[in-house]
Amino acid sequence: MSEQSPIIQMQNIQKHFGSVIALAGVSVDIFPGECHCLLGDNGAGKSTFIKTMSGVHKPTHGEILFEGQPMYFADPRDAISAGIATVHQHLAMIPLMSVSRNFFMGNEPQKSLGPLKLFDHDYANRVTMEEMRKMGINLRGPDQAVGTLSGGERQTVAIARAVHFGAKVLILDEPTSALGVRQTANVLATIDKVRKQGIAVVFITHNVRHALAVGDRFTVLNRGKTLGTAKRGEITPEELQDLMAGGQELVKLESSLGGTV
Amino acid sequence: MSDIAQTSPATDERVKDISPLRKALIRPELGGIVGTIAVFTFFLLFAFDSGMFNAQGVINWSVVSAQFVIIAVGACLLMIAGEFDLSVGSMIGFAGMLIAIFGVTLGWPIWLAIIITFVICVAIGGLSGWIVIRTGLPSFIVTLAFLFILRGFTIFLPQIIERKTIIGGIKDAAEGDWLASAFGGKVFGGLFQWMGDAGLIATFTRGTRAGQPVVDGVPMLIIWALVLMALAHILLTKTKFGNWIFASGGDAEAARNSGVPVNKVKILMFMLTAFCATVFAVCQVMEFGSAGADRGLLKEFEAIIAVVIGGALLTGGYGSVIGAALGALIFGVVQQGLFFAGVESSLFRVFLGVILLGAVILNTYIRRIITGER
């Protein structure tokens, strides 16, 4: 992957909220077709970092290069139209609406009927069923409500939606944190499929095992700073866990807990 | 739909088949359909001979139902978009009073009075929506404030201008006005004359109108109700904007994340509700020939009840215009039917309370099925 040029370069990003320094100079390169895991404990600055990447926050210092060009996103819609899609842990799907209506929410296909522009339900239903089948989800029908899907399936619908609408970079904000074992496996399998299509995946998690299952490269954030990026195979789960916890305390704790953390 | 069947993968053993009956039950209109059948069965059995189902009787309860439909359509789309409007009743009184003041007191042509009234009322609807969006306050509170503000002006303005609370003389002022006839006129007169001549419906046998049918046309009110209902139904189910309405009410934050202009959608729905209230007011003023300070009392609650009977969820994101119209039909038929059946009219309120409770319980059950809770 290293011979490719990065699709996003975050260079020395700093973000201050008043007197609080949330990010103190973080540099990360994201390549197409890789799954870049962003790890860190609560409060490490993961959320601030991806919100900067997706246009929600503007960096106080530092530069974002998108496909080699400096980018200044005024708001999240700029980032979305550039091809940076964020799938939020919650707040992605509307349970009472059908899968097909959710899939095309904000991007409704239209057909003309005389002077009227109507929602093209046939097209929407067909595409939804196709995309869901590609992701390995069997729907009862495109009019099935999202509320009947499991948490993992909802994440998958959201990911499929982002991919269908041309995302080049997919930011997944803790997609597995509230899921069971089987559902997590499904989401990780989805991430793998998406990566193979040449899309850059930024996978935020604080679960080292989930990260190691699919990640190509790993960046650990701690207290607003990056502790470096490691490639797959260069780092062990224990080292990652230690980096996330910020060093030595966990080692002691781990020995007292019998290595279960 | 055949192409969908082809693209469907092999069935998943974990996806339980649902019976067609259960699938038919999972629709917002269920309560409205069941209620409509029940209500008509009841009155056909107990009030068939009372004149409720002859031409005059049908027009009678149709007009009352159409009034409910007009305000229920606005309330329905607004509720699906996740908001309430408690100022509908006051808006009806206020709009009627504005027409009377412009058209009678100031002597403007009625068409101008009607247009200016529409502009003012829709703007007020937009204002209350804007306040709801900007402050983040519940629409319940904001529109409750407008309920009192508008009602206060409706009583105050005629008192200070004309020293009375009812302004009459609108019939004379509206005589021959092109726009007034679009609200207060009747259509299909020829058809009814023909039906009277053919003996299909009763005709007057004495007096100056001897030979004319007892029903001389379909009031424009009913046409407005049908047109508004059809347009709102198409808007909600068949357009991109309809998807935005569902999304805004289902989860405003998720909708925003997907690029739906939630604020715009909600404010437009407040304006639509005000528009519907104004249509109601204009039709009423043209029918009565006067505007009164107490017009439209409690209409906001009746609109909301009709919408809830029609299967919409009070929490937004789910509902149906057809259901709301059926809810309004149930209302109109029961209100007038009790009169035809000779039942004490105060029992209508008992009925309202009971059916509201039943509808809300049914809706909660249906929602649990949809979201897979059981």
CATH of the domain at A69: 3.40.50.300
In a domain, A69, yes or no: yes
**Closest Cβ–Cβ partner in B4, B10, B246 for A142:** B4
A5-19, B19-33, B271-285: which has the highest mean pLDDT?
B271-285
In a domain, B5, yes or no: no
Distance CA A200, CA A196 (A): 9
In a domain, B342, yes or no: yes
pLDDT at site B6: 40
What's the DSSP call for residue B50?
A: G
Tokens at B85, concatenated: 């409007």
Are the beta carbons of B9 and A133 separated by less than 8 Å?
Answer: yes
Q: Which structural domain range is residue B341 located in?
A: 32-40+51-363
In a domain, B1, yes or no: no
Q: Which structural domain range is residue A12 located in?
A: 8-95+168-256
Interface test with B, best of A96, A126, A182 (most B CBs within 10 A): A96
Measured between beta carbons, the chain A residues lying within 8 angstroms of B3 are: 126
Kindly tell me if the per-residue pLDDT of B307 is higher than 90.
Answer: yes
Task: Please tell me if residue A130 touches chain B, with a CB cutoff of 8 Å.
Answer: yes
Averaged confidence pLDDT in chain B: 87
Residue B7: enclosing H or E segment and its boundaries?
helix B2-7
In a domain, A52, yes or no: yes
- Shortest distance, CA B23 to any CA of chain A (angstroms): 10
pLDDT at site B154: 95
In a domain, B170, yes or no: yes
Kindly tell me if the per-residue pLDDT of B62 is higher than 50.
Answer: yes
pLDDT at site B10: 44
pLDDT at site B21: 67
Measured between beta carbons, the chain A residues lying within 8 angstroms of B243 are: 101, 104-105, 108, 119
What's the DSSP call for residue B167?
A: E
Are the beta carbons of B18 and A119 separated by less than 8 Å?
Answer: no
Contact between A30 and A200 (Cβ < 8 Å): yes
Residues B137-187 have pLDDT tens digits of: 999 999 999 999 999 999 999 999 888 888 888 888 888 888 888 898 888
In a domain, A208, yes or no: yes
Count of structural domains within chain B: 1
**Closest Cβ–Cβ partner in A97, A107, A125 for B4:** A125
Contact between A195 and A213 (Cβ < 8 Å): no
A123-132, B83-92, B212-221, B314-323: which has the highest mean pLDDT?
B83-92
Across B192-199, average pLDDT: 81
In a domain, A124, yes or no: no
Say how many CA atoms lie within 13 Å of B243 toward its Cβ. Answer: 26
Measured between beta carbons, the chain A residues lying within 8 angstroms of B238 are: 118-119, 121
Distance CA A212, CA A190 (A): 15
Distance CA A87, CA A201 (A): 11
Measured between beta carbons, the chain A residues lying within 8 angstroms of B247 are: 94, 97, 101, 105-106
Instruction: Name the amino acid, one letter, at B117.
Output: T
pLDDT at site A22: 85
Measured between beta carbons, the chain B residues lying within 8 angstroms of A141 are: 4
Measured between beta carbons, the chain A residues lying within 8 angstroms of B259 are: 77, 80, 106-107
pLDDT at site B11: 47
In a domain, B8, yes or no: no
Across B128-136, average pLDDT: 96
Nearest CA in chain B to A158: B258
Residues B39-52 have pLDDT tens digits of: 899 889 888 888 88
pLDDT at site B110: 93
**Closest Cβ–Cβ partner in B4, B259, B373 for A129:** B4
Q: DSSP readout, B292-354?
A: ETTTTTTHHHHHHHHHHHTT--TTSS---HHHHHHHHHHHHHHHHHHHHTT--TTHHHHHHHH
Q: What whole-number percentage of chain B has pLDDT above 70?
A: 92
**pTM value > 0.90:** no
In a domain, B374, yes or no: no
- Shortest distance, CA B240 to any CA of chain A (angstroms): 5
Q: Any idea which residue has 């509700």 for tokens?
A: B273
Identify which has the larger pLDDT, B303 or B23: B303
Contact between A160 and B22 (Cβ < 8 Å): no
**Closest Cβ–Cβ partner in A119, A125, A126 for B238:** A119
In a domain, B120, yes or no: yes
In a domain, A145, yes or no: no
Measured between beta carbons, the chain A residues lying within 8 angstroms of B371 are: 95-96, 145, 147-148
Compute mean pLDDT per 10 residues along chain A, 261 residues long, and list them: 74 86 86 88 82 84 86 78 80 84 89 88 92 82 84 84 86 82 84 88 86 87 81 80 66 57 50
Q: Give the closest residue to B139 by CA, choosing from B266, B306, B325.
A: B266
In a domain, A179, yes or no: yes
- Shortest distance, CA A59 to any CA of chain B (angstroms): 21
Are the beta carbons of A105 and B242 separated by less than 8 Å?
Answer: no
What's the DSSP call for residue B203?
A: B
- Shortest distance, CA A111 to any CA of chain B (angstroms): 9
Kindly tell me if the per-residue pLDDT of B367 is higher than 70.
Answer: yes
In a domain, B12, yes or no: no
Q: DSSP readout, chain A?
A: -TTSPPSEEEEEEEEEETTEEEEEEEEEEE-TT-EEEEEE-TTSSHHHHHHHHTTSS--SEEEEEETTEE---SSHHHHHHHTEEEE-SSSS--TTSBHHHHHTTTS--EEEETTEEEE-HHHHHHHHHHHHHHTT---S-TTSBGGGS-HHHHHHHHHHHHHHTT-SEEEEESTTTT--HHHHHHHHHHHHHHHHTT-EEEEEES-HHHHHHH-SEEEEEETTEEEEEEETTSS-HHHHHHHHHTSSHHHHHHHHHTS--
pLDDT at site A91: 61
Task: Please tell me if residue A117 touches chain B, with a CB cutoff of 8 Å.
Answer: yes
